[in-house]
Amino acid sequence: MSKVLYDARWIGSDYGVGRFAGELQKSLQGMEPFQARRRPWHPFDPILLAAVLRRKQPRLFFSPGYNSPVGWSGTFIFTLHDLHHLHVPASLLKREYYRYLIRPACHRAAFVLTVSEYSKHEIAAWANIKEEKIVNVGNGVGLPFTPIGKKHDPGYPYLLYVGSRRHNKNLPRLLSAYAQSGLRQDVRLLLTGHPDDELGGLIGSLGLSSDVKFAGACADAGLSDLYRGALALLYPSLYEGFGLPPLEAMACGVPVLVSNVCSIPEVVGDAAIQVNPLDVDEMAEAMRRLVRDSDLRRQLQEKGLRRASDFSWSETARKTSEILRLATDSG
């Protein structure tokens, strides 16, 4: 009988969850990785996963993501990073998945892990469970996200956005703020990933086709290069359960502009400029301050490095290991 069966299928998936899953697998010892062609967010995975667990009979099943078994009486822990799909446009299937699978799983699980105090409180209220059952293990930052290393140099200064195109990322307002900031003649806006038709249309309608650039997909080393080469990171998200890009940017010695909602202030502390993500004028003014005030950027760099030093994957692994041990000892 294996002690802990670990759902390694999350590694390499969605940015924050995939990073969390990969770092924990590297740091935690004695776990048997579970792999399958079926992705962990497949609608039938909870039932099929339970069949696997009945066959393998681990002492504990641990998922670094939000999937959990249905029809297995053994001990399990899963990780609910946030309630993202309840705040942004999502399919009916996804909402029903949360209602009929994730919420009951919160009650059946030995523990529910999450990554911020904001998410902990929100999950407890939504699932109607005691906060003591939810453990905030946080996220971390490490190599290659350091101030020392190669800097991306495209031949022009740039402000950087790192993230997806999801509704909660607030890209339309970010682009509008950049358009009215008066900075486009001197500073480009660089986005990770590739343009899609909707985003390309918005950029064109704002007259930014020559000013907004795309970096394409980036592995960690390339992403750290992008951070170090930027004047600042812009991350005015409407909803986050944590927000790894601001932490990674601070660890690279880069000033950060973020929204003042959800978990983000908890992550950045006083080491970033915080703005109302619904206020385009405020966002544009903050961009101008960042670009034009070198003393402000230097202060934010220093504060950001100190703040980032408070987060490590080893600490996340330590907290997680304690909970796994507690669950297996009592299971």
Q: What does the mean pLDDT of the chain come to?
A: 94
pLDDT at 257: 98
- The pTM assigned to this predicted structure is 0.94
Taking only the tens place, the pLDDT of each residue in 116-138 is 999 999 999 999 999 999 999 99
Q: How do residues 91-106 score in pLDDT, each as one tens digit?
A: 788 888 999 999 999 9
Q: Tokens 């495209």 appear where?
A: 154
Residue 232 confidence (pLDDT): 98
- What's the pLDDT tens digit per position in 164-222? 988 999 999 999 999 999 999 899 999 999 989 999 999 999 999 999 999 988 888 89
Given this model, what pLDDT does residue 91 score? 75
Kindly report, residue by residue over 225-280, the tens digit of the pLDDT: 999 999 999 999 999 999 999 999 999 999 999 999 999 999 999 999 999 999 99
- Domains of the chain plus CATH, in order, are 4-139+312-330 (3.40.50.2000), 158-308 (3.40.50.2000)
- pLDDT number for residue 1: 37
Q: Rounded CA gap, 168 and 306, in Å?
A: 28
Question: At a CB cut-off of 8 Å and minimum separation 6, what does 119 contact?
Answer: 80, 81, 82, 83, 136, 241, 242, 263
Work out the pLDDT band at 331, boundaries 50, 70, 90: low
Q: How confident is the model at residue 85 (pLDDT cuts 50, 70, 90)?
A: confident
